[in-house]
């Protein structure tokens, strides 16, 4: 066979493949269908439970059985995605209306996961069976082959309520995501009924019924006026706050009790909130907290924050709103599959799509029911007619050789070969002319049907069938009749399953927290050679000054409202608020400096530490390994950012020394090769922190500045060099940018 080569651009193949993959994820995995509000995995799981007969009024079945059957028949994408979906459909803190009735540990609101699928059991919830799956046998939706064409599955479930709005949805596809908040079932049904009565309703009119999201966790939506724009566009941000109550505590303390949380705090968010509140106390942002405890149980959320007697509760609550997730934002993007493609839906668009779908399913349902009743009517009329001429029918049956002969006579009037008592009977038999179905029913009819009461029941049943046919025809031919039927069904569902609104919708002002002025006092900063830092009171510092100077690498007195500035070899400046450092005693260890700053001990090293207030008073001198030097006004380091560049460095260079230029007249550079250069500080120019600086010392090949010493007018300083003492103040003062003198002792 001759080979056929198809040439194609590689980029075009990649583009097409990526688009195919993206659409597969969007349509077949991640996004819900606007008609039933379900993702494929949810739809397949519910349908599989329906097929397995795991109904609300039957015993629970193991989740592993459901997951395995769903994966084997309909969803070959791994058991974890199916079980995760099953778990979420049981959780009343995530779903406004849980679709599955779970038995066992299916997780909790605090983020604890569900038990393994082999331990938990499940069955369909009552509402799911009655209103999601009830009419599947009436040809209301299309069925398609499953992945291996051994089974058939519904393309959509015949859901009778706007599940997309009621239970909401979350999902991440390729290049898009859906995020729809849950709503109150009663409000959504009321809105749908109103929309069916007036399809011209706008968003404002619909919102007379749907006030806003109704989260299972309650809370307060605080931007009511922005909801209309969200529902008109299908996108926006809903701001939610937790519900806070005030109770009397022990010893006159105040208990701030959180009874409802934002929907976004479900799971790990509760633990994060507790740690954030504890951090407020640790970082001394507030001194009002005495204790915090999580007393939540099956009865509901109860997080208790014990406060001091004189706490301004309103101000503290605003602090929680500002600094923690007690006030959070729920991003709305009502994206769903509509007519086979992803679309961001407005509230009107959702209502139209849902109502159109319900009319379509109702049309198909009542068409199927009408056909069944018409078939039943045909058979009933045949049986009634047969009862009226039962003697002739019996003669046909007794005189026929076999069933086909008898049926041929009943249907076509062919009496050939049949024995009759008289020619009159033969003539009457030739005129019966039953239909095929009627003839089959007559041939299968049992003798007890000839009893008088049975005949009366048959006539009454026929009358009921006629009434149903008239009703179904009226529903199918009259739009108003069908609309009324759907509205009545919705009203029954509302009456049976509605719950009170949990979330309050309101317009509230932004939380404003007024920080209490901190009493400014002097504290002593101390940091040991291992990088552990803390602050102590000045009295303790002065009493232990000699020990501190010996055992600690850096120490100085500063204000408790000030900042500590750390200069590093890489030329960076890291600032730390004194408030962020633990206030301890002399024997306390302190905190690693890299825990309270962006400084990385593994890749950088500290060169100099000072308080920002002292830097503002003096000029700062920099010396690098390559002998570049400059003086910078200390005010340039009064910055608000945690980390900035303190100086500019040449490639491969690093900072060797940083020092305040205060009561210093000369500076001594010592190179690795043993050269010493002493010159006046006045020779070093003042530059910006963004400058490289000037050369302070001429270095030989592979030589570099090892140490820098600073001397005042009358200072004497001796260092060890080559095992002997070298008195630096005896070195000759020369000029900057010279080689210096090699000292051999």
User: What is the percent of the chain with per-residue pLDDT over 70, rounded to a whole number?
Assistant: 96
Tell me what pLDDT residue 448 has: 66
What's the CATH code of the domain at 395?
1.10.268.10
- Domain presence at residue 335: no
Statement: residue 457 has pLDDT above 60: yes
Evaluate if residue 745 carries a pLDDT over 80.
no
534 and 468 co-located in one domain? no
- Does residue 232 sit within a domain? no
pLDDT band at 450 (very low <50, low <70, confident <90, very high): low
Range in 86-100, 105-119, 455-469, 494-508 the model is least confident about: 455-469
Q: Are 322 and 513 in contact (CB under 8 A)?
A: yes
Read off the pLDDT band of 452 (50, 70, 90).
low
> What pLDDT score was predicted for residue 24?
61
Asked whether residue 63 falls in the same domain as residue 145, the answer is yes
Residue 341: band (very low, low, confident or very high) from pLDDT cuts 50, 70, 90: confident
| pLDDT for position 467 | 94
Residue 685 lies in a domain: yes
CA distance 505 to 221: 5
Q: Which residue out of 119, 231, 497, 513 is catalytically annotated?
A: 119
pLDDT tier for residue 161 given thresholds of 50, 70 and 90: very high
Give the pLDDT confidence score for residue 410 in this predicted structure. Answer: 85
Which pLDDT does position 249 carry in this prediction? 85
Distance CA 612, CA 617 (A): 9
Of 7-11, 119-123, 658-662, 726-730, highest mean pLDDT: 119-123
Residue 617 lies in a domain: yes
Q: Which residues lie below 8 Å from residue 507, measured CB to CB, with a gap of 6+?
A: 222, 223, 224, 225
Say whether both 291 and 431 belong to one domain: no
Neighbours of 443 (CB within 10 A): 15
pLDDT band at residue 23 under the 50/70/90 scheme: low
Last residue of one domain, picked from the residues 124, 158, 192: 158
In a domain, 19, yes or no: no
CATH number for the domain that contains residue 321: 3.30.1360.40
Residue 187 has pLDDT above 90, yes or no: yes
Q: What is the pLDDT of residues 268-294, one digit of tens each?
A: 889 899 999 998 888 778 888 999 999
Residues 613 and 664 in one domain: yes
Which pTM does this prediction carry? Answer: 0.75
Please give the average per-residue pLDDT across 579-584, as a whole number: 84
Whether 176 is covered by a domain: the verdict is: no
Which pLDDT score, from 0 to 100, does residue 442 have?
81
Range in 178-187, 381-390, 625-634, 694-703 the model is least confident about: 381-390
Q: Among 325-334, 387-396, 725-734, whose mean pLDDT is lowest? A: 387-396
Is residue 515 pLDDT above 80, yes or no? no
Residue 411 has a pLDDT of: 86
Residue 6 resides in a domain: no
pLDDT of residue 29: 67
**Of residues 663, 623, 669, the one with CA closest to residue 647:** 623
Number of domains in the chain: 4
Q: Is 18 left (phi over 0), alpha (psi -120 to 50) or beta?
A: alpha
Q: What is the pLDDT of residue 686?
A: 93
User: Are residues 556 and 636 both part of a single domain?
Assistant: yes
Question: Residue 493: pLDDT above 70?
Answer: yes
Q: What percent of the chain has pLDDT over 90?
A: 62
- Residue 298 sits in which domain range? 243-325
409 and 449 housed in the same domain: yes
Q: What is the pLDDT of residue 2?
A: 65
pLDDT for 545-580, tens place per residue? 988 888 899 999 999 889 999 999 999 999 999 888
Positions of E strands within 334-394? 335-338, 341-344
For residues 481 and 529, membership in a common domain is answered with: no
**What distance in Å separates the CA atoms of residue 102 and residue 62, rounded to the nearest whole number?**
10
* 317 lies in the same domain as 378: no
CA end-to-end span of the chain, whole Å?
Answer: 94
Structure letter (DSSP) for residue 33: B
Q: Other C-beta atoms within 10 Å of 287: how many?
A: 12
Does residue 163 belong to any structural domain of this protein? no
Residues 630 and 675 in one domain: yes
Mean pLDDT of 386-395: 82
Are 480 and 365 found together in one domain? yes
- 678 and 590 share one domain: yes
CATH number of the CATH domain containing 60: 3.90.199.10
Mean pLDDT score across all residues of the chain:
90
Predicted pLDDT at 1: 52
- What local confidence, expressed as pLDDT, does residue 436 receive? 85
Give residue 22's pLDDT band: very low, low, confident or very high (50, 70, 90): low
Model pLDDT, residue 431: 86
**Among this protein's residues, is 541 annotated catalytic?**
no
Question: End of a domain among 158, 189, 204?
Answer: 158
Max mean pLDDT among 227-236, 294-303, 411-420, 640-649 falls in 227-236
- What CATH number does residue 633 fall under? 2.120.10.90
DSSP symbol at 28:
I
Higher-confidence residue of 177 and 482: namely 482
* Shared domain check, 251 and 154: no
What is the spatial distance between Cα 604 and Cα 627, in angstroms, rounded to a whole number?
A: 19
Report pLDDT digits (tens) over 1-20.
567 777 777 777 777 766 66
Q: What is the average per-residue pLDDT within 144-148?
A: 91
pLDDT tens-digit readout, 434-447? 888 888 888 887 76
Instruction: Give the residue from 126, 158, 190 where a domain finishes.
Output: 158
- C-alpha 130: how far from chain center: 30
- Residue-level pLDDT at 550: 87
Instruction: Write down the pLDDT at residue 437.
Output: 87
Spatial separation of the C-alpha atoms in residues 641 and 576, rounded to whole Å: 10
Distance, CA of 616 to CA of 633 (rounded, Å)? 8
């Amino acid at each position: 066979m001759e080979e056929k080569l198809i040439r194609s651009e590689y980029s075009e193949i990649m583009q097409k493949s990526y688009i195919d993959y993206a659409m597969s994820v969007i349509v077949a995995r991640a996004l819900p269908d606007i008609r039933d509000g379900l993702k494929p995995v949810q739809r397949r799981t519910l349908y599989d439970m329906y097929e397995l007969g795991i109904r609300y009024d039957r015993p629970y079945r193991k989740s592993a059985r459901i997951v395995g059957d769903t994966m084997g028949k309909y969803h070959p994408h791994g058991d974890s995605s199916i079980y995760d979906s099953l778990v979420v459909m049981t959780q009343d803190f995530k779903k406004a209306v849980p679709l599955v009735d779970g038995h066992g540990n299916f997780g909790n609101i605090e983020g604890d996961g569900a038990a393994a699928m082999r331990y938990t059991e499940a069955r369909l919830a009552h509402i799911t069976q009655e209103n999601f799956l009830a009419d599947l046998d009436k040809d209301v939706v299309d069925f398609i082959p499953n992945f291996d064409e051994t089974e058939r599955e519904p393309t959509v479930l015949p859901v009778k309520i706007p599940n997309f709005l009621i239970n909401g949805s979350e999902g991440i596809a390729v290049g898009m995501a859906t995020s729809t908040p849950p709503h109150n079932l009663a409000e959504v049904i009321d809105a749908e009924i109103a929309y069916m009565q007036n399809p011209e309703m706008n968003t404002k009119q619909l919102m007379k019924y749907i006030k806003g999201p109704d989260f299972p966790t309650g809370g307060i939506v605080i931007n009511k006026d922005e909801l209309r724009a969200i529902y008109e566009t299908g996108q926006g941000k809903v701001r939610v706050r937790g519900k806070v109550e005030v109770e009397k505590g022990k010893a006159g303390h105040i208990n701030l009790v959180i009874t409802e949380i934002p929907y976004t705090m479900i799971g790990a968010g509760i633990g994060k909130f507790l740690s954030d509140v504890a951090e407020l106390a640790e970082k001394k942002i507030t001194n009002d907290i005495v204790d915090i405890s999580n007393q939540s149980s099956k009865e509901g959320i109860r997080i208790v924050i014990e406060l001091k007697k004189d706490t301004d509760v309103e101000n503290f609550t605003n602090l929680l709103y500002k600094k923690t997730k007690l006030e959070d934002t729920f991003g709305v993007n009502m994206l769903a599959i509509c007519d086979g493609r992803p679309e961001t839906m407005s509230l009107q668009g959702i209502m139209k799509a849902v109502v159109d779908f319900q009319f379509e399913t109702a049309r198909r349902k009542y068409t199927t029911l009408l056909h069944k009743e018409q078939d039943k009517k045909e058979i009933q009329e045949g049986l009634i007619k047969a009862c009226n001429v039962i003697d002739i029918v019996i003669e046909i049956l007794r005189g026929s050789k076999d069933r086909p002969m008898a049926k041929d006579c009943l249907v076509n009037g062919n009496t050939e070969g049949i024995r009759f008592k008289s020619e009159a009977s033969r003539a009457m038999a030739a005129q019966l002319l039953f239909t095929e179905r009627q003839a089959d029913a007559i041939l299968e009819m049992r003798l007890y049907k000839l009893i008088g009461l049975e005949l009366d029941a048959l006539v009454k049943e026929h009358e009921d069938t006629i009434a149903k046919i008239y009703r179904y025809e009226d529903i199918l031919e009259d739009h108003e009749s069908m609309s009324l039927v759907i509205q009545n069904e919705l009203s029954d569902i509302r009456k049976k399953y509605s719950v009170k609104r949990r979330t309050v919708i309101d317009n509230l002002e932004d939380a404003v927290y007024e920080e209490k002025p901190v009493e400014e006092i002097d504290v002593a900063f101390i940091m040991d050679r291992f990088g552990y830092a803390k602050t102590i009171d000045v009295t303790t510092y002065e009493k232990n000054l000699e020990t501190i100077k010996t055992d600690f690498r850096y120490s100085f007195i500063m204000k408790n409202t000030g900042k500590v500035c750390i200069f590093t070899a890489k030329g960076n400046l890291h600032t730390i608020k004194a408030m962020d450092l633990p206030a301890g005693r002399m024997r306390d260890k302190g905190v690693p400096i890299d825990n309270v700053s962006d400084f990385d001990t593994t890749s950088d090293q500290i060169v100099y530490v000072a308080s920002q207030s002292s830097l503002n008073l003096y000029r700062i001198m920099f010396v690098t390994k390559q002998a570049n030097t400059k003086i910078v006004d200390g005010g340039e380091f009064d910055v608000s950012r945690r980390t900035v560049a303190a100086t500019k460095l040449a490639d491969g260079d690093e900072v060797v020394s940083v020092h305040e230029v205060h009561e210093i007249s000369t500076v001594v550079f010592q190179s690795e090769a043993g050269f010493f250069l002493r010159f006046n500080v006045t020779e070093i120019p003042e530059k910006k922190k963004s400058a490289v600086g000037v050369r302070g010392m001429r270095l030989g090949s592979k030589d570099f500045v090892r140490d820098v010493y600073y001397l005042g007018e009358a200072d004497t300083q001796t260092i060890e060099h080559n095992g002997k003492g070298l008195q630096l103040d005896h070195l000759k003062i020369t000029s900057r940018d010279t080689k210096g003198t090699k000292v051999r002792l």
